[in-house]
Amino acid sequence: MKSLTLICLALCLIVTPAFAAWHVANQTTVAWDAVTQDVDGNTITDGAVTYNIYLTNAKTDPDKTNPVKIAEGITDTQYTITLNTRGFYVPGVTAVLTMDVDGETITNESEMIYLDWTPDNPKGILYLPNLKSPTGLGIQ
């Protein structure tokens, strides 16, 4: 009995991380910390910071070379993503500084940070539509 318990425990440790790595949902709110400084550590005092939200398909674009912008000019530090196509997706966010310089609007977009940037986060969002219910149930 003890060896059976150890086998079950070992299987749980092996199998669980593979399934726990993806957040399964059709709608997910992602959140991030506000950007208040530039890369040199200077506090941003001029202009406005907004955020652009991107999605990349983890299966067809595993290197994240072709992210798709799904929202721009977001002023909040969270965004709700709604998926309607089956797949594995990794959301990303950039900060955008917009300033008026001598009557001209100048923007500067940061590098992208993706949800999977740390092992503490899931790899991304997995969307699987609900299945149809079985039919033809009867006694044989």
Among 56, 36, 31, CA closest to 46: 36
Query: Across-strand partners of 81?
Result: 28
- Report d(CA 133, CA 50) in Å as an integer: 44
* Segment 52-62 mean pLDDT: 96
- The pLDDT assigned to 129 comes to 84
- Looking at the domain 22-127, which fold is it? Immunoglobulin-like (2.60.40)
**pLDDT single digits (tens) 77-112:** 999 999 999 999 999 999 999 999 999 999 999 999
pLDDT of residue 30: 96
Mean pLDDT confidence for 18-40: 88
Q: Which is higher by pLDDT, 129 or 36? A: 36
For the chain, give the mean pLDDT: 87
Q: Using an 8 Å Cβ cutoff, are 97 and 107 in contact?
A: yes
Domain coordinates of the chain in residue numbers?
22-127
More confident residue, 16 or 71: 71
Which pLDDT tens digit goes with each residue over 107-136? 999 999 999 888 888 899 999 888 899 999
For tokens 């991030």, the residue is 32
**pLDDT band at residue 13 under the 50/70/90 scheme:** very low
Amino acid 120: pLDDT: 81
